[in-house]
Amino acid sequence: MTNAVQMRTFQFRIYRYDPDQDAKPYMQDISVECDPMDKKLLDAMVKLKAKDDSIAFRRSCREGVCGSDAMNINGKNGLACLTDLSTFPAGKPIVLRPLPGLPVIRDLIVDMTQFFKQYHSITPYLINNDPPPQHERLQSLEDREELNGLYECILCACCSTACPSFWWNPDKFVGPAGLLAAYRFIADTRDQATSERLDNLEDPYRLFRCHTIMNCVDVCPKGLNPTKAIGKIKEMMVRRAV
Amino acid sequence: MKRLVVGAHYGLMDWLAQRVTAIFMAVYTLIMFAATLGGAASSREAWHALMANGFIRYLTFLFIISLCYHAWVGVRDIWMDYVQPAAIRVTLHVLTLFALVGYAGWAVQIIWRL
């Protein structure tokens, strides 16, 4: 006995650019047939890759943990593995572009060097010069609570590459992802470098290029709020200064 | 190639001042709106009497200074966002400062002449 499987065809318009072969980028129209088991955009893209293996994109965990498959989906940054195929309206092509503002290596793959350079600039690790206790450095429940909404960031770069300030000054503005990570350590009661961290950020470019545009909050696939974290950094600076 | 440098260690006071001046200007606008509803703009004499009031002069002076400081931070932010060459940026900063300080003096002179 065979079950009638309802197939659905998805139209795609995909940004293509291979610097070794193409003089300039172009958009490729391609369609793919998906069965009901294909739930997420990434499922369709894997089928697309089987159909035309020249299409290049990053993906790994396929469940929103690794952050590899961040891309611009119908004009909005997001993770392909977390985007439901059912949310796309029928009859309209799904437009896929690389994350905006970063150099394109090939097709949907971007060079994240600048993004990670900013992330590394905020010393994204705990600084505590006390000798480590036998087991672990404990926090109270209230102190631990402060880290919620901060530690979950997967560094997919959806937020920073949606931020106009990061587009204009990617070399000088830390960007929402870096600032969220900075606040994650500023807020950590086990960290002893709070004042140095605030010094590191107190700069018209590194922190104060944020104009509260909130594109970062709009696109974060993990539902985090970098704008709020940036506001808390500013609040701490004010409390330190006045 | 010139090396990139960041770390000027300022910005907090400007950011804070921009917010404080915004709140002050909003309150001033409400006061002037209320005064207008109360008939302060019905004739030149009524307007003159309002602006001759010492407290209103004090607030208006603060308003002009607030507006210029607020505009300085805002316009400087625009230059910092979009103008990459430092020489052009510093020129624009200086021109903006000259314009705003000149406007502030001019506006104060007009108010205090009333």
pLDDT tens digit sequence for B7-24? 899 999 999 999 999 999
Question: Which of B4, B9, B81 is facing A202, going by the closest CB pair?
Answer: B9
Q: Quick check: is B1 in a domain?
A: no
Q: Are strands A94-97 and A8-16 parallel, antiparallel or unpaired?
A: parallel
Please report residues of B whose CB lies closer than 8 A to that of A241: 12-13
pLDDT for the residue A4: 65
Residue B5 domain flag = no
Task: Find where tokens 């009333």 sit.
Answer: B114
CB distance from B14 to chain A under 8 Å? Answer: yes
Does B15 touch chain A if contact means CB atoms closer than 8 Å? Answer: yes
The per-residue pLDDT for range B42-69, each reduced to its tens digit, is: 999 999 999 999 999 999 999 999 999 9
Number of CB atoms found within 10 A of residue A41's CB: 26
Residues of B with Cβ-Cβ distance to A202 under 8 angstroms: 9-12
Residue B3 counted as domain residue: no
- Beta bridge partners, B25, equal none
CA-based nearest residue in chain B for residue A205: B6
Helices (H), A8-140: 41-51, 113-120
> Whole-angstrom Cα distance, residue B68 to residue A175?
29
Q: What is residue A5's predicted lDDT score, i.e. its pLDDT?
A: 75
Mean pLDDT of chain B: 94
- Count of domains observed in chain B: 1
Beta strands in chain A (DSSP E): 8-16, 26-34, 70-73, 76-79, 94-97, 104-106, 109-110
pLDDT average, residue stretch A84-107: 96
Confidence of residue B4 (pLDDT cuts 50, 70, 90): confident
Distance from CA of A171 to the nearest CA of B (A): 8
ipTM value: 0.90
* pLDDT at A2 (0 to 100): 54
Q: What is the span of the domain harbouring residue B62?
A: 11-113
The pLDDT of residue A27: 98
Residue A226: burial class (beta carbons within 10 Å; 0-12, 13-18, 19+): buried
CATH code of the domain in which B25 resides:
1.20.1300.10
Distance CA A14, CA A30 (A): 8
Distances (CA, A) of B108 to B57, B61, B65: 9, 6, 9
Q: Is B6 within the bounds of a domain?
A: no
Kindly state whether residue B79 falls inside one of the protein's structural domains. Answer: yes
Residue A1 has pLDDT above 80, yes or no: no
Structure confidence at residue B2 (pLDDT): 78
A134-176 pLDDT, tens digit each: 999 999 999 999 999 999 999 999 999 999 999 999 999 999 9
Residue B2 is assigned to a structural domain of this protein: no
Residue B72 belongs to some domain of the structure: yes
Instruction: List Cβ<8 Å contacts ≥24 apart for A149-153.
Output: A149/A224, A149/A225, A149/A228, A149/A229, A150/A180, A150/A181, A150/A183, A150/A184, A150/A187, A150/A224, A150/A229, A151/A184, A152/A222, A152/A224, A153/A177, A153/A180, A153/A181, A153/A184, A153/A222, A153/A224
CB neighbours of A199 closer than 8 A, spacing ≥ 6? B9
Q: What's the confidence (pLDDT) of residue B41?
A: 86
The 3-class secondary structure across chain B, one letter per residue, is: CCCCCCCCCCCHHHHHHHHHHHHHHHHHHHHHHHHHHHHHCCCHHHHHHHHHCHHHHHHHHHHHHHHHHHHHHHHHHHHHHHCCCHHHHHHHHHHHHHHHHHHHHHHHHHHHHC
Residue B18 is assigned to a structural domain of this protein: yes
Give all strands of the β-sheet with A70-73 in edge-to-edge order.
Answer: A26-34, A8-16, A94-97, A70-73, A76-79
* Total length of chain A: 242
User: What gap in Å lies between CA A188 and CA A85, rounded to an integer?
Assistant: 38
Nearest to A203 among B7, B16, B81 (CB): B7
Question: Which pTM does this prediction carry?
Answer: 0.93
% of chain A surpassing 90 pLDDT: 96
How far from each other are the two terminal CA atoms of chain B, in whole angstroms? 56
